[in-house]
């Protein structure tokens, strides 16, 4: 069981960010038990990525944290809005640097990271994710990953998510606390705390327990998805969007009207077929539901972290808390 912590995004606006992110990477690596050499490799890769972002990105932001799918992993996410890369293979060449910083290029970064993923569109920006671990067998990140971002300059996000991976099934929960700020965060975090104690129940049973447990809070909207090898079982109350994306098309999943903790007299779950290689996406109404996979060519061939980060950039609003979680089905 992994509970999401509040994500702390840092604007990549000046060179002071580079040192701060390098230190954060070293501290997280030490906490995860990395060797001295592995800690240094992690710090160098993060330094190069952030340096490039500071030099050339537009509206660049970075996040570094313990991976939401495994506390033994470190995850790095960088998002910008331009100029994008037209020659990704060149960027993988040793000695090539998009900014003239360390000059080690993405090729060297790819060898230092346990895994990385890049999605870039010329004129629209780049999303880079990297993860680092001490163990060789942890080169592949978990299938699910999510991100949250608070409204405006708020310090806390009123939306939360959690992931319970049981091997044959993965259960996702996303809760959008009513309003924003600390009271909204209290409601959404209480929802995922209750979920943590009941992750193996049917989605409707989890929903009912969360509903009864949030009566002392503001309440909010919630959705729960149980993802198996060939199907998704989904239950939702309120305005959380759930989608199955496949071959540049998407299918919406049904949430019933209501406010978890306050208004909701019936709970239903629905089952949907899950095509091989499809992506399950859930997000709060801090992301518009009008996004179209056809306008982001090739995105859904990427991993869950890049998908979540790109949707946050493309569909997220700065006028509301935003949260998105994605899961890749097996092929």
CB of 80 within 8 A of CB of 158?
A: no
pLDDT band at 123 (very low <50, low <70, confident <90, very high): confident
pLDDT band at 86 (very low <50, low <70, confident <90, very high): low
CB of 32 within 8 A of CB of 73?
A: yes
pLDDT band at 292 (very low <50, low <70, confident <90, very high): very high
Domain boundary among the residues 105, 120, 138 is at 138
pLDDT band at 199 (very low <50, low <70, confident <90, very high): very high
Stretch among 75-84, 192-201, 238-247 having the lowest mean pLDDT = 75-84
**Domain at 90, CATH number:** 3.30.565.10
The predicted pLDDT at position 220 comes to: 97
CB of 227 within 8 A of CB of 142?
A: no
The predicted pLDDT at position 89 comes to: 47
Across residues 229-251, what is the average pLDDT? 96
Residues 189, 85 share a domain: no
CB of 224 within 8 A of CB of 172?
A: yes
User: What gap in Å lies between CA 155 and CA 152, rounded to an integer?
Assistant: 9
Write down how long the chain is: 331
Looking at the 3D structure of the chain, how many domains does it have?
2
DSSP string of 222-253? EEEEEE-SSEEEEEEESS-EEEEEETTEEEEE
CB of 281 within 8 A of CB of 146?
A: no
User: What gap in Å lies between CA 292 and CA 311, rounded to an integer?
Assistant: 10
Q: Give the tens place of pLDDT for each residue, 100-122.
A: 333 345 667 878 899 999 999 88
The neighbour count for residue 197, using CB atoms within 10 Å, is 11
Residues 44, 178 share a domain: no
User: What gap in Å lies between CA 4 and CA 70, rounded to an integer?
Assistant: 11
Domain boundary among the residues 138, 167, 200 is at 138
Read off the tokens for 135: 């163990």
Sign, Cα dihedral of 309, 290, 317, 256: negative
Strands 270-273 and 231-237: antiparallel
- CA distances in angstroms from 91 to 41, 87, 95, 160, listed in the order given: 19, 7, 9, 35
Residues 123, 188 share a domain: no
User: What gap in Å lies between CA 4 and CA 63, rounded to an integer?
Assistant: 14
Read off the tokens for 319: 């006028």
pLDDT band at 2 (very low <50, low <70, confident <90, very high): low
Residues 186, 54 share a domain: no
Residues 108, 49 share a domain: yes
The predicted pLDDT at position 287 comes to: 98
Residues 40, 118 share a domain: yes
Residues 300, 193 share a domain: yes
Q: SS3 for 291?
A: coil
Q: How far apart are the first and last CA of the chain?
A: 24
Across residues 9-22, what is the average pLDDT? 92
Taking only Cα atoms into account, the Rg of the chain, rounded to an integer number of angstroms, comes to 19
Domain boundary among the residues 105, 138, 171 is at 138
CB of 146 within 8 A of CB of 174?
A: yes
Residues 150, 131 share a domain: no
- Residue of higher predicted confidence among 9 and 100: 9
Residues 153, 134 share a domain: no
Read off the tokens for 143: 């299938």
Across residues 285-302, what is the average pLDDT? 96
The predicted pLDDT at position 6 comes to: 66
Stretch among 168-172, 284-288, 309-313, 315-319 having the lowest mean pLDDT = 315-319
Whole-model pTM: value is 0.92
The predicted pLDDT at position 102 comes to: 36
DSSP designation for 124? T
Q: Domain limits at 174?
A: 144-328
CB of 233 within 8 A of CB of 206?
A: no
**Domain at 183, CATH number:** 3.60.40.10
| Residue % of the chain over a pLDDT of 90 | 71
The predicted pLDDT at position 83 comes to: 75
Residues 153, 92 share a domain: no
Map tokens 């992301």 to a residue.
Answer: 287
Residues 284, 270 share a domain: yes
Residues 151, 129 share a domain: no
């Amino acid at each position: 069981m992994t509970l999401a912590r509040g994500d702390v995004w840092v604007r990549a606006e000046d060179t002071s960010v580079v040192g701060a992110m390098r230190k954060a990477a070293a501290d997280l690596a030490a906490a995860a038990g990395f060797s001295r050499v592995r800690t240094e490799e992690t710090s160098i890769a993060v330094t190069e990525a952030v340096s490039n972002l500071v030099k050339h990105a537009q509206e660049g932001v970075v996040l570094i944290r313990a991976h939401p799918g495994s506390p033994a992993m470190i995850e790095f996410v960088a998002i910008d809005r331009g100029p994008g890369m037209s020659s990704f293979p060149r960027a993988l060449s040793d000695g090539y640097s998009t900014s003239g910083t360390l000059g080690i290029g993405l090729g060297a970064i790819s060898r230092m990271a346990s895994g990385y993923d890049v999605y870039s569109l010329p004129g629209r920006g780049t999303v880079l994710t990297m993860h680092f671990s001490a163990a060789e067998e942890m080169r592949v990140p978990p299938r699910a990953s999510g991100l949250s971002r608070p409204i405006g300059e708020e310090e806390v996000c009123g939306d939360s998510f959690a992931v319970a991976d049981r091997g044959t099934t993965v259960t996702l929960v996303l809760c959008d606390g009513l309003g924003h700020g600390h009271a909204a965060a209290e409601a959404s975090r209480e929802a995922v705390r209750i979920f943590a104690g009941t992750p193996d129940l049917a989605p409707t049973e989890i929903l009912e327990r969360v509903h009864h447990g949030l009566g002392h809070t503001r309440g909010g909207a919630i959705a729960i998805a149980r993802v198996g090898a060939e199907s998704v079982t989904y239950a939702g109350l309120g305005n959380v969007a759930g989608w199955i994306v496949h071959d540049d098309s998407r299918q919406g999943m049904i949430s019933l009207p209501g406010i978890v903790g306050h208004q909701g007299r019936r709970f239903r779950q629905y089952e949907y077929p899950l095509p091989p290689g499809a992506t399950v996406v859930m997000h709060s109404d801090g992301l518009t539901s009008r996004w179209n996979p056809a306008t982001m060519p090739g995105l859904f061939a990427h991993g869950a972290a890049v998908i979540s980060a790109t949707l946050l950039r493309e569909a997220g609003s700065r006028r509301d808390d935003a949260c998105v979680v994605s899961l890749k089905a097996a092929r």
